[in-house]
Amino acid sequence: LTKPLSGRVAVVTGASSGIGESSAEHLAGLGARVAVLARRADRLDEIVSRIQKNGGTALAIAVDVTDAASVQAAADRVVSEMGDADLLFNNAGVMLPAPIEELAVDQWQHQIDLNITGLMNVIGVFTPQLVKAAGERGVSDLINTSSVAAQNIFPNFAVYSGTKAYVTHLSRHLRVELGAKNVRVSALEPGIVGTELQSHVTDDGVRQWLEGTKETMQWLTPQDIAETVGFIAALPPRANLQQVTIMPTRQP
Ligand code: NDP
């Protein structure tokens, strides 16, 4: 039996943990060959081993997406070892909320560098592959991880939310521009998902706020998001989920 994503070549960034890790394994289970990208090579190797043990095909590429030259080298490796990518899950990101008056300018810059510049570096080098693959195989997918923070207001999330509003708005524009070439573009906007994301937060108030939400709701799991990514990519070529907001049921 052919699997829904058989013959597809997927690239997942931020694949060493959380949403990216789950999604890479899920896409491989659906039949795609998957290149996993992030900085922690040891974690990537473990994920590749697991995928291979389950009968899938995967390639680990250790890369810092904020380094444009390294991202280009990673894209070249994908072409030579797997062929042109037709599914890009552009997912690496970091969330460091804090009151703006703390002037945590290093954290502002880190979020902008990764969530915006890193995301653009990846789009820049993989778009030619997505377009070429769509021409040859019928359809490609560019799925950008945004956040519900692009839509809703959360206290002390201004800079992070700004980066994610950028991702959602960029995705809407690219959907029109690249849709004409059969590249579907989607913005994926999760509510709270339990991952390593929360562990990087340094602001005490925000940490407490995040912990407190666990008393009123069950957070989403990375697997919930992985299944959504698989659903988006397996739609018939005529159908493009432009924007998907997936929330914990009890998150306001
Ligand atoms: P994790 O912290 O578990 O995953 C982040 C991933 O990004 C890791 O694989 C990390 O790997 C990678 N990464 C970080 N910096 C770089 C870099 N410079 N170059 C390459 N890869 C990098 O968090 P999530 O899985 O939750 O986050 C994934 C995405 O989901 C992010 O864009 C986040 O903003 C978004 N999101 C998350 C939500 C949540 O509640 N968890 C809600 C809404 C959106 P490594 O350190 O090995 O490089």
With a 6 Å cutoff on the Cβ, whether 185 touches ligand 1 is no
Instruction: Classify residue 155: in a domain, yes or no.
Output: yes
Closest CA relative to residue 86, chosen from 156, 146, 6, 204: 6
Closest CA relative to residue 89, chosen from 15, 198, 175, 28: 15
Instruction: Classify residue 63: in a domain, yes or no.
Output: yes
Is this structure's pTM higher than 0.90? yes
Per-residue pLDDT of the chain (252 residues; tens, 9 = 90+): 799 999 999 999 999 999 999 999 999 999 999 999 999 999 999 999 999 999 999 999 999 999 999 999 999 999 999 999 999 999 999 999 999 999 999 999 999 999 999 999 999 999 999 999 999 999 999 999 999 999 999 999 999 999 999 999 999 999 999 999 999 999 999 999 999 999 999 999 999 999 999 999 999 999 999 999 999 999 999 999 999 999 999 999
Instruction: Classify residue 181: in a domain, yes or no.
Output: yes
Instruction: Classify residue 26: in a domain, yes or no.
Output: yes
166 is catalytic: no
Instruction: Classify residue 221: in a domain, yes or no.
Output: yes
What's CA 156's distance to the chain center, in Å? 23
Instruction: Classify residue 1: in a domain, yes or no.
Output: no
Range of the domain at 125: 9-246
pLDDT score for 1: 72
With a 6 Å cutoff on the Cβ, whether 210 touches ligand 1 is no
Domain of 237, CATH number, reads 3.40.50.720
